[in-house]
Amino acid sequence: MTEQRAVSISGLVKRFGSAEVLHGIDLEVSTGEVVVLVGPSGSGKSTLLRTINLLERPTAGRISVCGHALTFDSAARQEREEIAVTRAIRAKTAMVFQSFNLFPHMTALANVAEGLVSVKRMTRREAEAEAMNLLDRMALAHKAAEYPATLSGGQKQRVAIARSLAMRPQVMLFDEPTSALDPELRSEVLTVLREIAASGMTMLIVTHEMAFAREIADRVVFMDEGSIRFAGPPEGFFQTADPRISKFRSAILL
Ligand code: ADP
Ligand code: MG
Which ligand 1 atom minimizes the distance to the CA of 16? 25
Task: Give the model confidence (pLDDT) of 90-144 as tens digits.
Answer: 999 999 999 989 999 999 999 999 999 999 999 999 999 999 999 999 999 999 9
Mean pLDDT of 179-200: 95
| Any ligand 1 atom below 6 A from CB of 42 | yes
| Any ligand 1 atom below 6 A from CB of 16 | yes
**For ligand 1, mutation pick of 14, 18, 46 (most atoms within 8 Å of CB):** 46
The mean of the pLDDT values for the chain is 94
Q: Given a cut of 70, is residue 228 above it in pLDDT?
A: yes
| Closest C-alpha to 108, from 145, 158, 153 | 145
What's the predicted TM-score (pTM) here? 0.95
| Any ligand 1 atom below 6 A from CB of 41 | yes
| Any ligand 1 atom below 6 A from CB of 21 | yes
Query: Which of the ligands is closest to the CA of residue 57?
Result: 1
Task: Give the model confidence (pLDDT) of 136-172 as tens digits.
Answer: 999 999 999 999 999 999 999 999 999 999 999 999 9
